[in-house]
Structure 1
Amino acid sequence: MLLEGACHCQAVKFSVTSHHPYPFNLCYCSVCRKTAGGGGYVINLSGKSKTLDVKGGENVSIYRAVINGEKSTGERHFCKHCATALWVYDPDWPELVHPFASAIDTDLPIPPERTHMMLGSRADWVEVNAQPKDKCFDEYPDESLAEWHQRLGLER
């Protein structure tokens, strides 16, 4: 599925091909929450990094979070004008790029269930609205974005 997105001010537009486009994985970690999660969490999708096409790349800045005293290898790309979180790229997994669902303009499919991850670091004011089919984890989930899509037969 081709995902198309942009920042709020339209200075950056991008597209990426995704075989795992369902916005199911809600991350409540402090990095996601503070850099992109207005609702107390953020939703990352998965795309093939080789297919990432960016227009307005000169308007993109990168933030690398410090986690447990060490700078993360994950590169959080955002618009340097309007601060929209766009995607995460980590050279440890060079074949992947993780666009933020909030930056995607393409209609995304509705997931039949959700995963709530990193609940151990969620803010006290955030209410987790987990439904009966949802899975909840204090840290990382027991399956990847790809495995979740495979288990439910939702790869595109």
Structure 2
Amino acid sequence: MLLEGSCHCQAVTFSVKSSHPFPFNRCYCSVCRKTAGGGGYAINLSGDSNTLRISGKEHIAIYQAVIDGEQSTGERHFCQRCASALWVYDPEWPELVHPFASAIDTPLPSPPKLTHMMLGSKAEWVEVNAQIQDKCFYAYPDESLAEWHQRLGLER
């Protein structure tokens, strides 16, 4: 599925092909919460980094979080003008790029189930609206974005 996205001020637009377009994986970690906001969590999708096309590259900045005293290899791309979180790229997995669902303009399919992850980092004010079919994890889930889509037969 071709995903098209943008920042709030439209200075940056992008597209990327994704076999895993269901926005199911809600991350409550402090990095996602503070850099992407969105109800106390962020939702990342998965895309093929070779298909990423960007307009407005000159408006993009990169943030690498410090986690447990070490700089993360993950590069969080955001618009310098409006601060919209756009995607995460990690050179440890060069074939992947993880756009934030909040930056995607293409209508996304509705996931049949959700995964709530990093609940151990959740802010006190955040209410988790987990349904009975959802999975919840104190830290990282037991399956990847690709494995979740594959298990449910949802690859596109």
One-letter amino acid of the structure 2 residue matched with residue 80 of structure 1: Q
Give me the TM-score of the superposition, normalised by structure 1.
0.99
The answer to whether 1:147 aligns with 2:142 is no
Cα offset, 1:38, TM superposition? 2.9
Give the residue type in structure 2 aligned to 1:155: E
Report the 3-state secondary structure (helix = DSSP H, G, I; strand = E; otherwise coil) of the residue aligned with 2:3. strand
User: Match of 2:128, SS?
Assistant: coil
**Superposed CA offset, 1:13-47 (max 9, x none):** 00000000000000000000000023000000000
Which AA in structure 1 matches 2:9? Answer: C
1:46-61 alignment, distance < 5 Å: 46-61=46-61
Q: Which residue in 2 is equivalent to 1:129?
A: 129
Q: How does 1:2-151 map to 2 (within 5 A)?
A: 2-151=2-151
5+ residue gaps, structure 1, are none
Distance 1:9 1:85 in 2: 12
Counterpart Cα distance in 2 of 1:40 and 1:11: 25
Partner Cα distance (2:131, 2:16) in 1 = 30
Structure 1 residues 114-153: Cα deviation after superposition (integer angstroms, max 9, x where no partner): 0000000000000000001000000000000000000000
Identity of aligned residues (%): 79
> SS of the counterpart of 1:87?
strand
Residue-pair matches, total: 156
Alignment RMSD (CA, Å): 0.4
Runs of 4+ more than 6 Å apart: none
Q: Deviations over 1:102-125 (max 9, x none)?
A: 000000000000000000000000
Q: Aligned partners of 1:22, 1:30: CA distance in 2, in Å?
A: 23
Deviation per CA, 1:39-64: give whole Å up to 9, x if none.
00000000000000000001000000
Deviations 1:54-87 (A, max 9, x none): 0000100000000000100000000000000000
Unaligned runs of at least 5 residues, structure 2: none
TM-score by length of 2: 0.99
- Give the match's secondary structure for 2:50: helix
